[in-house]
Amino acid sequence: MISLLQRVSEARVDIDGQMVGAIGQGLLVLLCAEPDDTEAVGEKLLAKVLKLRVFSDEAGKMNRSLQEVGGGLLVVSQFTLAADTKSGNRPGFTGAAPPALGEALYDAFVMSARAAHPVVQTGRFGADMKVHLVNDGPVTIPLRIAHQA
């Protein structure tokens, strides 16, 4: 599973001019499932996201997790994270899970996130979304958890 985490002071997702999810301080998680991913891979990724120390402590060091600061989590599906740009000028997306699997894994990730963390908002899988964010720092961290055979 591929993800891109952005520490935000605020973020929201709009679809057709309507806000569907919003958070204040927290993490925006752009999420892409790959063909070999499983719910177990999503669980590992979620555990890492919730415990990753990317928020500042009293000394200004990135030493606090999302759980410690009580921040929100905004999860947005983004298959384009699997873009293959090795040849040509048009990216290929065969590295992303097929839509049915991608949606099932995205839904499982969100369900687990809601069970583990009090503030979880989402976009909508497969929708044309407008994501608005104020990146805090800026802090942007790529995170990938691979399926282990």
pLDDT of residue 149: 62
User: Is residue 31 classed as helix, strand or coil in its secondary structure?
Assistant: strand
Q: What is the mean pLDDT of residues 86-104?
A: 95
Does residue 145 register a pLDDT over 80?
A: yes
**pLDDT value for 147:** 75
With residue 62 as reference, give the H or E element that holds it. Answer: strand 62-64
- Tell me the domain boundaries of the chain: 2-87+96-144
Spatial separation of the C-alpha atoms in residues 123 and 22, rounded to whole Å: 9
Which of these is catalytic: 79, 109, 121, 122?
Answer: 79
Among this protein's residues, is 94 annotated catalytic?
A: no
The phi, psi pair for 17, rounded to 5°, reads 80, 0
- 8 Å CB contact between 137 and 7: yes
Annotation: CATH topology of 2-87+96-144: D-tyrosyl-trna(Tyr) Deacylase; Chain: A; (3.50.80)
What the block records as the tokens of 116 is 């583990």
Give me the percent of the chain exceeding a pLDDT of 90: 97
Cβ-Cβ contacts under 8 Å for 6 (sequence gap 6 or more): 27, 28, 30, 133, 135, 138, 139, 140, 141
pLDDT > 80? residue 82: yes
Of 69, 74, 95, the residue nearest 84 (C-alpha): 95
Which of 32, 4, 24 has the alpha carbon at shortest distance from 136? 24
pLDDT of residue 34: 96
Does 79 participate in catalysis according to the annotation? yes
Catalytic position from the list 6, 25, 55, 78: 78
For this structure, is 93 an active site residue?
A: no
